[in-house]
Structure 1
Amino acid sequence: MSDLEFHVEDATSLEHAVVPTLILKLRIKGGVSQSIQNVNLQCQIQIESNRRAYTQNEQTNLIDLFGAADRWGETLRSMHWTRVSTLVPPFQREVLVDVQIPCTYDFNVAATKYFYGLEQGDIPLLLLFSGSIFYRQETGMLQVTQIPWSKEARYRLPVSTWKQMMEFYYPNSAWLCLRHDVFDQLYRFKCHQGIPTWDETLQRLLASTALEVPT
């Protein structure tokens, strides 16, 4: 029976993709005498948010996700981020493959709020593997087996890697998704006031409110 081991060595981003895409460099090791024909690899990725410390500013940034910091003992839990598939090419003993993770800048998505709210350090990730392994025995007979659900790998993704990727795709900008009726009201306000840009529109609305906005 073929057995594989997984280890994430590095992370980078794919430039000029259709969407921001993070790449995890995954090292896969197999048995010495077994020839792996291919692996249909499934990977579920979780954010282990309770496995790192947070600055006071980060705690403020993450209130929308976890509430006030004095409640984090109850609310700070691992979060499902995404699930991706990778077709691993033939190899004999080990191979290095790119696991591509399409990322969104939608602030209605919890992972985006979490990544954006961090200022420094790293993001603890847990990768859970499943899928099918196609390999040849020493007799040359083709076999297939499933990757055990116990197979996993941890990696601490630098916060700077995610932020640099988003800055490359969306320089000095962020995206908000609004309901049509809310956008229509905002658009009418912008036109009625003769405000040339959306930035100035929001700045004027913020300046007109009595609510103190933290900086």
Structure 2
Amino acid sequence: MTTGPGTSFTVIDVTPEPYAVTPTLTARIGVSVAGDEPVHAIALRCQIRIDPLRRGYSDDEAAALTDLFGPRERWATTQHTFLWQHCAAMVPGFTDTTEAVLRLECTYDFEVTAAKYLHALRSGSIPLQFLFNGTIFTAGQHGFSVQQIPWDCEDRYDMAVSVWRDLIGQHYPNSGWLRLGHDTLAALSAYKSARGHLGLDDAVTELLAQAREEVR
């Protein structure tokens, strides 16, 4: 954890939100502002990044990450910290310390780099970096006093891969999302109907089986 002068933020835990309509993680953040003066509120913003260099990868994970980073021998130059998402919250008044809650709305769209990375992981942890900024409101001589959260307030958190898998399994059990062009989708739908399949999944499975046979 890095702290600014008198201000610090610590990630306590990150867990799935059980009653959310869409995939959402809840991050509990410990907040500390030094001094005896009460804080009226904090307009908290956070950038959450993934730092892939902070963990190792199995051969299966490395194969699944080829689209993102290339072959393993190139990872020293291709693996860099990348953005996962932005989030924000209003922290109500407190003195000295409190806890804040950040809602992390997640996507399972494989066109998104973070979703592709997270899907590739089988076990271990997801190396996250939380970069905090925003505005602190305290009492002043003429109403409120405003100060910015120091630029170097950040924290690292290793979220278990199982947390992500539980979240996705809760909303998309044994399934995922794949975006296709209109022409491709129309052709696939026509193939499904012509072959008498009940769903697009069956059509894709058959096409993949045919492709494997051709390779042999």
Q: TM-score if structure 2 supplies the norm length?
A: 0.93
Verify: 1:95 aligned to 2:92, yes or no: no
- C-alpha contact (below 8 Å) 2:38/2:93 kept by paired residues: yes
Call closer, same or farther: CA 1:207–1:150 in 2, change over 3 Å. Answer: same
Matches of 2:165 and 2:173, distance apart in 1: 10
Deviations 1:97-127 (A, max 9, x none): 1111100010100000000000111111111
C-alpha displacement at 1:69, in angstroms? 0.8
Matches of 1:16 and 1:190, distance apart in 2: 35
Amino acid paired to 1:28: V
Equivalent of 2:115 in 95, 112, 115: 112
Verify: 1:4 aligned to 2:7, yes or no: yes
- C-alpha contact (below 8 Å) 2:8/2:33 kept by paired residues: yes
Classify the secondary structure of the residue corresponding to 2:131.
strand
> Which residue of structure 2 aligns with residue 194 of structure 1?
196
> Which residue of structure 2 aligns with residue 17 of structure 1?
20
Q: TM-score if structure 1 supplies the norm length?
A: 0.93
Q: Give the 4+ runs in structure 1 shifted more than 6 A.
A: none
Classify the secondary structure of the residue corresponding to 1:59.
helix
Classify the secondary structure of the residue corresponding to 1:90.
strand
> Which residue of structure 2 aligns with residue 48 of structure 1?
51
Matches of 2:24 and 2:31, distance apart in 1: 21
C-alpha displacement at 1:160, in angstroms? 0.5
Corresponding pairs, count: 210
Q: CA RMSD in A?
A: 1.5
What runs of 5+ residues in structure 2 fail to find an aligned partner?
A: none
Matches of 1:63 and 1:39, distance apart in 2: 41
C-alpha displacement at 1:141, in angstroms? 5.2
